[in-house]
Structure 1
Amino acid sequence: MLESNDEIQGLFGVAGKVVLVTGGSRGIGYAIAEGFVKAGARVYICSRKEADCEAAAEQLSAYGECHPIPADLSTVEACQALARELGDRENKIDVLVNNAGALWAEALADYPESGWDKVFDLNVKGPFFLIKALLPLLEAAASPRDPARIINIGSIDAYHVPKHETYAYSSSKAAVHQLSRHLAWQLASSHVTVNVIAPGLFRSKMLQGTLESRGEAALVEHVPLKRLAESSDLAGAAIYLASRASSFVTGMILTVDGGHATTL
């Protein structure tokens, strides 16, 4: 039972939580990391390029606490190394946001094995083995009333057919959705929830080429809410899934797409 206004406001608080955002130096990862930093969490971001990671952390540190840990999470060894470094700095992790990802677009006749492997290694294998490596730290933060949280970044391309030849990307994101449901069941007894944010069109490096070739007006024509997703849309979804307001929510795919793939 909620007894006071302060308790209701506290439902969405994440101040003091320890948060790791992979792929946090740009795009959706940066937007989510910024939201957590501004909400008072202690945030770690990682990305493959050391300079980009450190620059992003410095920018975010203007709003609160943010620390860079460069890492290429396409290998099991790198996931384990990241977990060890975090374990040296923290005795628990409240929230893991698996956002790091890759896309490869090429005609079916020319689609290379190397492109397929690059996408699946980073989009599917990386999150799985990072969760495995970080599980002790997540379980250390977990309780029945306030579970530890895993938030995997999926995509609306996981359940509608994209018009571009991004075969590995859409397949990998479908795998992320199903993996998240499986882990939600498996980790429930450890008081760790697993949910997915499935973004729609967001102004990012992945979308930049399409924006330049087609224009924003053409892209949002089939979006019922007639705009691209904004940073606050993704940050708000992540903060909800990390807050006490979602403590009884697991195995869910939260679509943030303005109705693009979910109402048409």
Structure 2
Amino acid sequence: MKVDNYIIRKADITMKTIMILGGSKGVGKEILSSCLNKGYNVSFCGRSLEEGEKIIKSTKSESQLYFHKLNLESIEGIKDFYKQTIKRFKKIDALVLYAGITPVSSITNTEEDVYDSVFNINLKAPFFLLKHVLKSMIDNKSGSIIFFGSAHMDYGEMNRAPYALTKSSLYTLSNHIAHHYAKYGIRSNYLVMGWTNTEGELELRTKEGISAKKLKEKASTIIPMGRMLNTSDPIPAVMYFISDESAMTTGSLIRITGGEYI
């Protein structure tokens, strides 16, 4: 097909379905919005049904959106999220693994319940969602998986020990999929997201007595490029990984951190 001197492949104009683990807040919400602008269907999840319905109503995209209320520590809930997405949109072209928690916790002060919660939400939930989504992608002989990583992945700050472990494990999982599932046309890539002014980050710092202004000033002295990321900074990379332009890109790691290494 030729439009305005550009040749467009059939795959590029096919309606894609994007599944987001998360999507109601922060960068996940920005990804949802960008996908809608591309004309994609989006299945997303969160803890608040009211919040999900508010997003659907505000975007006026009822036909393109599906929200699933989900407790990320429920494996049955994860399975149902997948089943309802397939029921609604028939397929999953890309899976964005965004949701996660970042408790302030070092090895010496981590309680078992905190450890279990971090691993259940950050690692177990993505793993068991992948268990189902990969089967669908294998059947379709295509798919893109985007892992959201962190600069903590190598060893992390002292008070982010469980979080750092989950993020390094997700990198291993991304490479595992890239290596073993490329033969099915499935690609897997890992996006390292740096210090970002998400709602969760601002809420955490407020509890620590740090205002948004003070946080911005502090970040400017730590991040080599002089500022925190905003929630739209990672979006171009995510949309590239979703698109057919990344058809031969798998097993990669991209750092969107403003030059920050931990």
TM over 0.5: yes
Q: How many residues align?
A: 253
The whole-number CA distance in structure 2 between the counterparts of 1:233 and 1:12 is 27
Of all paired residues, the percent bearing the same amino acid is 24
Deviations 1:164-212 (A, max 9, x none): x121111111111111111111111111111111100111133213376
1:153-164 to 2 correspondence within 5 Å?
153-159=148-154, 161-162=156-157
Q: Kindly indicate whether the alpha-carbon contact (under 8 Å) linking 1:72 and 1:78 is maintained by their aligned counterparts in 2.
A: yes
Q: Which runs of 5+ in 2 are unaligned?
A: none
Question: Residue type of the partner of 2:145?
Answer: I
What residue is the counterpart of 2:42 in the other structure? 43
The whole-number CA distance in structure 1 between the counterparts of 2:58 and 2:64 is 10
The whole-number CA distance in structure 2 between the counterparts of 1:175 and 1:120 is 10
Deviation at 1:136, TM superposition (A): 2.9
Q: Does residue 1:207 correspond to 2:206, yes or no?
A: no
What residue is the counterpart of 2:231 in the other structure? 231
The whole-number CA distance in structure 2 between the counterparts of 1:197 and 1:11 is 28
What residue is the counterpart of 1:174 in the other structure? 168
Deviations 1:190-246 (A, max 9, x none): 111111111001111332133761420211222222222223322211100011221
Deviation at 1:48, TM superposition (A): 2.1
The whole-number CA distance in structure 1 between the counterparts of 2:29 and 2:118 is 20
The whole-number CA distance in structure 2 between the counterparts of 1:104 and 1:220 is 23
Deviations 1:129-167 (A, max 9, x none): 10111223223443xxxx31011111111125325x121
The whole-number CA distance in structure 1 between the counterparts of 2:26 and 2:177 is 26
Deviation at 1:20, TM superposition (A): 0.8
2:96 counterpart SS class: strand
Q: Kindly indicate whether the alpha-carbon contact (under 8 Å) linking 1:11 and 1:245 is maintained by their aligned counterparts in 2.
A: no
Deviates more, 1:252-261 or 1:122-131: 252-261
2:234 counterpart SS class: helix
Deviates more, 1:78-87 or 1:125-134: 78-87
Question: Residue type of the partner of 1:194?
Answer: S
Q: 1:94 to 1:257 in 2, by over 3 A?
A: same
The whole-number CA distance in structure 1 between the counterparts of 2:48 and 2:241 is 28
Deviation at 1:106, TM superposition (A): 3.2
TM normalised by structure 1 equals 0.86
Q: 1:60 to 1:234 in 2, by over 3 A?
A: farther
Deviations 1:64-123 (A, max 9, x none): 832211122323212211111122112211011111111221354431111011011111
Q: Which runs of 5+ in 1 are unaligned?
A: none
